[in-house]
Structure 1
């Protein structure tokens, strides 16, 4: 049976998500009406509107960076790997993205550090198109199929790889296809370009509510992440080159202060507070959908911004299974993150 295409409302909603990058920089600019004493910091993000980056978005939207005297400009990219590349190329100062990029950077001889942890679980899910795979029974049915990820090398790619490996599916039997985020990712699944998709919310909740997509792998809760990784897996964080941290300690501290302030706000925020705070485009035209997606991942946000004690070791152990460069490198875990800025921010905001 053929399934109906995206409704006009749903299509417009996802298109709005893709355009969400327009909102965040504008909010930051409007907030700086009286100038920023510490100047400007550019943050690269892979998929600005997804819940994965919510603490950063809130710090921006609520004016917390402005309170710190910092002008933050967010530049959006279609995938986390591309945002990381932007920092390497000098197009951005700091990245909001997956902690594993810090590990991979060190393996390649680059000094990066995670500054503040936003998420304690990947917040990703793997969905299968029942239109493309109508007789789907288990992950083994994806052998010989195409799995959509934001880009090869991004956290969506690694999460999908880990889920498939755990199910005993050889990765050589699966083709990973970079499909970006937002409208592009959803259309790639619904058009049959890919038969499965690994993505973040609220996209996956929207797909889950449709009859043609089945969630077959879920890392949107602390329990699911613990079961998968046998430890706390640091995911979304702000990270920066060591050179930037050393040259701009005041800007770095202000940036961390803003995110820690947002994490504190998030602990007690009511649903009505959240939908008022985020840019309207993030809601995808459906507040109920957005809040349903948020409720799935709310517990995974860090309560204080600190790197979990076992976090770096867990990440290295897990990711070494799929990244030969990490398995072969001598990673100095003590150099992958710093808690100095978070500790000062916690004192300031009593977190």
Structure 2
């Protein structure tokens, strides 16, 4: 046998062994899981808000943990929550605030890994329909675009309005989604203001289509708006699911923490290679510019800050009358136990 053929066969043998070994690891991991097939609902998977979920999926981190994850994408976080409540999803990749809102309705759901330590949501006024905007009160009677009514973009908009003296009922909220629909609604004049996320916000900024009123893409701006740390995207599930499937929950957390740690080291070229091209809205350079705006907002380790749940509750109480007088057990809205184990075993 000539040396070249011998080297080729040796290399092929090593590759085969690696593939077999990887499958064996995943199979061994799967054997210890209570539930191997897990369905995750998300509201706007193309958003940087949920970038860690996309990374975990695209780089095979869920598979490494022995999981078969099916991700269903919805127009907004409230729709993803409805899917879980209705039984068509096991877990939601969604905003932390929903754990508080649902507890107020006597439904206990728990966030178990943090994706974002700042909401990344931007509230802006249309330069087309409101060129003479001066204050929040100018928005009375106007139409505000959100990803979906009841979603985190709606919640942040409500809070911004409340700080300016308006109630949610003083405006009309319209669901516009998170991509082309949001751009179209603003550009056609269907909405007067928008509460949305990157990359669409950076595209609107770039074309000078909006005037930014509130920005939560950095820790500093988030602290100033909410008065404390504000947990954003999480993975959350019904309390009963987590109790019944602790090893499955741990596997999901392990995959997400791997994704978060990968993102801490990744460069722009790494991001565009992994993220589906359709998420980049036809402009790779602008997509990377948008990523630079939100990078700081991504959690480095998946830990929910101890003061974060109280900030979220205070924010919701500013405009949600149904929370008045309601006793919320914040300790049941989140847990860091799975994240602690994941960080101990993931470099």
Mapped to 2, the partners of 1:160 and 1:340 lie a distance apart of 32
Give the drift of 1:349. 0.4
User: Given that residues 39 and 72 in structure 2 are in contact (C-alpha distance below 8 angstroms), is that contact kept between their aligned partners in structure 1?
Assistant: yes
Query: Which residue, 178, 197, 200 being the options, matches 1:200?
Result: 197
Task: Tell me: CA distance 1:339–1:170, structure 2 relative to 1, closer, same or farther (3 Å).
Answer: closer
Residue 344 of structure 1 is matched in structure 2 by 341
Residue 244 of structure 1 is matched in structure 2 by 241
**How is 1:98-109 mapped onto 2 (pairs within 5 angstroms)?**
98-109=95-106
**How is 1:219-298 mapped onto 2 (pairs within 5 angstroms)?**
219-298=216-295
Mapped to 2, the partners of 1:56 and 1:226 lie a distance apart of 25
Query: Cα deviation per residue 1:277-315 (whole Å; 9 max; x = unaligned)?
Result: 111211222121111111111111111111101011111
SS of the equivalent of 1:261 reads: helix
Query: Cα deviation per residue 1:113-168 (whole Å; 9 max; x = unaligned)?
Result: 10101111110111222111122233332122111112221111110111122223
Residue 180 of structure 2 is matched in structure 1 by 183
**How is 1:1-351 mapped onto 2 (pairs within 5 angstroms)?**
37=30, 38=33, 39-350=36-347
Mapped to 2, the partners of 1:86 and 1:303 lie a distance apart of 28
Unpaired segments ≥5 residues, structure 1: 1-30
Give the drift of 1:325. 2.3
SS of the equivalent of 1:303 reads: coil
Mapped to 2, the partners of 1:277 and 1:283 lie a distance apart of 11
Give the drift of 1:32. 8.7
User: Given that residues 104 and 325 in structure 1 are in contact (C-alpha distance below 8 angstroms), is that contact kept between their aligned partners in structure 2?
Assistant: no
User: Given that residues 186 and 194 in structure 2 are in contact (C-alpha distance below 8 angstroms), is that contact kept between their aligned partners in structure 1?
Assistant: yes
Mapped to 1, the partners of 2:224 and 2:73 lie a distance apart of 32
Query: Cα deviation per residue 1:321-350 (whole Å; 9 max; x = unaligned)?
Result: 112222332111111111111111001103
Greater mean deviation of Cα atoms: 35-44 or 74-83 = 35-44
User: Given that residues 43 and 92 in structure 1 are in contact (C-alpha distance below 8 angstroms), is that contact kept between their aligned partners in structure 2?
Assistant: yes
User: Given that residues 117 and 297 in structure 2 are in contact (C-alpha distance below 8 angstroms), is that contact kept between their aligned partners in structure 1?
Assistant: yes
Mapped to 2, the partners of 1:244 and 1:197 lie a distance apart of 35
Mapped to 2, the partners of 1:110 and 1:171 lie a distance apart of 24
User: Given that residues 32 and 71 in structure 1 are in contact (C-alpha distance below 8 angstroms), is that contact kept between their aligned partners in structure 2?
Assistant: no
User: Given that residues 256 and 341 in structure 1 are in contact (C-alpha distance below 8 angstroms), is that contact kept between their aligned partners in structure 2?
Assistant: yes
Query: Cα deviation per residue 1:30-74 (whole Å; 9 max; x = unaligned)?
Result: x99987824211100000100000111101111111111111111
Give the drift of 1:246. 1.6
User: Given that residues 47 and 178 in structure 2 are in contact (C-alpha distance below 8 angstroms), is that contact kept between their aligned partners in structure 1?
Assistant: no
Mapped to 2, the partners of 1:76 and 1:245 lie a distance apart of 22
Query: Cα deviation per residue 1:238-289 (whole Å; 9 max; x = unaligned)?
Result: 0000111122112111100000011111111111111111112112221211
Provide TM-score, normalisation by structure 2.
0.88
Task: Tell me: CA distance 1:120–1:327, structure 2 relative to 1, closer, same or farther (3 Å).
Answer: farther
Query: Cα deviation per residue 1:176-225 (whole Å; 9 max; x = unaligned)?
Result: 22223322222122112111111011011111111332222211111111
